[in-house]
Amino acid sequence: MELIFKKIAQLSASLVFVILAATTIVLYLSAKPAIEEFGLKFLIEPRWGVQEKVEPPAIAEQSDLKQLEKSADIQTDDDFIKDEEDFMMDDEDDFIFDDDMESDSNRNKTIYGALVPIVGTVFSTLIAMLFSIPLAIGIAVFLSEIAPSALAKPVGVAIELLASIPSIIYGMWGLFYFGPFIASLFGGNTVSLLVAGLVLGIMVIPFMAALSRDAIATVPDMLKESAYAMGATKLEVIKDVVFPYAKTGIIGSIILSFGRALGETMAVAFVIGGVYQFAEKVTDPTNSIPVVLANSFAESSGLSLSVLFYLALILFVLSFGVIAIAKFYFLRRK
């Protein structure tokens, strides 16, 4: 019985690694065509879904040019005919135009680049963090150290409830109310990098505040009392004893919130704009990786689908990397 229990526990634990490995492998295999096509240049390429003329190879250049001239001749001929029949043959005009496009696309390829969504993801998350960290820690300190327990308990429960609101609700609220409000304050669009960052921030505040409060609650009363017994004021006790003691837990809550903001899809999809361009000002719309994924999967196939998997792999590495770095860098001293 003991043995079975141990084995089951072991199995559950190893399942985590299996899932992690499987996810990575599937992402990589699906992304492979795109990785081979675009390589690491994908990371710094700002264009997305843009047709680009392929430079013909040097040897085939001349014959290609001839062909081009020929087709141009044919086109001009066609154009003459078209002009003559223009009044009656509108349909044919379209047909010829389509034909033209098709012959062009043989020499073109579609360029995909991840730079816009990567930058959008990173910046919306950074804005969210800048906005939420001071507020969340303020809430946590207030609830655990300052508020009388008659107030701290109901507010604490309310914070935990807020943390459980599905993100799509934040997205709708952001689109219909908060976005216009921010636009009226700072100008610019009702959907923008700034709105996305702030909505993300608001979304993670309860989560971060609840976790930080729990971390602060682990500071022993006796430790705080001994600081008061040395003649410290409340502010000094919080600054010099509570924060350093609860540092690990508070940083942990920030990291978890960071990871959550990085991968957040629904709330951001509503308010970031979803356009493939850099936000020159924070009030410009842009895009983020999860939003691109959610918006594009339905109409993608072949290479464009593989590109999405490449993008997903980047997000995976990004969030994995951030959390790994934070874990080893900040929490290395226990």
Partner 1 sequence: MKNMMEVKGLTFTYSGANEASLVDVTLPVEKNKVTALIGPSGCGKSTLLRGMNRIHDLYPGHTYEGVINLLNTDGKSYTNILDIKKEAELIRLRQRVGMIFQKPTPFPMTIFENIAYGLRLSGIKNKADLKDIVEQSLRDAALWNEAKDRLDHDARGLSGGQQQRLCIARAIALKPEVILFDEPTSALDPISTLAIEEMISVLREKYSICIVTHNMQQAARISDFTGFMYLGEMIEYDQTDTIFMKPSKKQTEDYISGRFG
Smallest gap from Cβ 230 to partner 1, in A, equals: 4
**Phi-psi domain of 259 (left: phi exceeds 0; alpha: psi -120 through 50; beta: other):** alpha
Task: Say if residues 120 and 287 touch (Cβ distance below 8 Å).
Answer: yes
Task: Say if residues 141 and 152 touch (Cβ distance below 8 Å).
Answer: no
Identify which range of 10-18, 93-101, 168-176, 233-241 contacts partner 1 by CB under 8 A. Answer: 233-241
Q: Please say which residue, 63 or 233, places its beta carbon nearer to partner 1.
A: 233
Residue 92 and residue 86: Cα distance in Å, rounded? 9
Query: Taking CB under 8 A as the rule, does residue 153 contact partner 1?
Result: no
Query: Taking CB under 8 A as the rule, does residue 150 contact partner 1?
Result: no
Residue 10 and residue 4: Cα distance in Å, rounded? 10
Smallest gap from Cβ 243 to partner 1, in A, equals: 9
Task: Say if residues 136 and 205 touch (Cβ distance below 8 Å).
Answer: yes
List CB contacts of 90: < 8 A, sequence separation 6 or more. Answer: none
Residue 332 and residue 120: Cα distance in Å, rounded? 30
Among 225, 297, 320, 327, binds partner 1 (CB under 8 A): 225
Nearest to 209 by CA among 255, 254, 171, 239: 254
Q: Please say which residue, 248 or 300, places its beta carbon nearer to partner 1.
A: 248
Among 80, 97, 176, 228, binds partner 1 (CB under 8 A): 228
Residue 328 and residue 334: Cα distance in Å, rounded? 11
Smallest gap from Cβ 244 to partner 1, in A, equals: 4
Q: Please say which residue, 227 or 272, places its beta carbon nearer to partner 1.
A: 227
Residue 257 and residue 126: Cα distance in Å, rounded? 11
SS (H, E, C) 103-131: HHHCCEEEEECCHHHHHHHHHHHHHHHHH
Smallest gap from Cβ 240 to partner 1, in A, equals: 7
Query: Taking CB under 8 A as the rule, does residue 154 contact partner 1?
Result: no
Query: Taking CB under 8 A as the rule, does residue 227 contact partner 1?
Result: yes
Identify which range of 33-41, 221-229, 257-265, 287-295 contacts partner 1 by CB under 8 A. Answer: 221-229
109-128 mask for partner 1 (x: CB under 8 A)? --------------------
Q: Please say which residue, 37 or 236, places its beta carbon nearer to partner 1.
A: 236
Q: How many residues does the chain have?
A: 334
Residue 246 and residue 243: Cα distance in Å, rounded? 5
Query: Taking CB under 8 A as the rule, does residue 284 contact partner 1?
Result: no
Query: Taking CB under 8 A as the rule, does residue 235 contact partner 1?
Result: no
Write the DSSP string, 26-95.
Answer: HHHHHHHHHHHHHGGGGGG---EEEEEEPPPPSTTHHHHHHHHHHHHHHHHHHHHHHHHHTTT-HHHHHH
Q: Please say which residue, 83 or 225, places its beta carbon nearer to partner 1.
A: 225
Among 220, 281, 297, 317, binds partner 1 (CB under 8 A): 220
236-275 mask for partner 1 (x: CB under 8 A)? x---xx--xx-x----------------------------
Query: Taking CB under 8 A as the rule, does residue 141 contact partner 1?
Result: no
Query: Taking CB under 8 A as the rule, does residue 330 contact partner 1?
Result: no
Please work out the total of residues on this chain that contact partner 1, with binding judged by CB under 8 A. Answer: 20
Amino acid at 68: L
Q: Please say which residue, 124 or 212, places its beta carbon nearer to partner 1.
A: 212
Among 12, 13, 36, 148, binds partner 1 (CB under 8 A): 148
**Contact residues for partner 1, defined by CB under 8 A:** 148, 220, 222-233, 236, 240-241, 244-245, 247
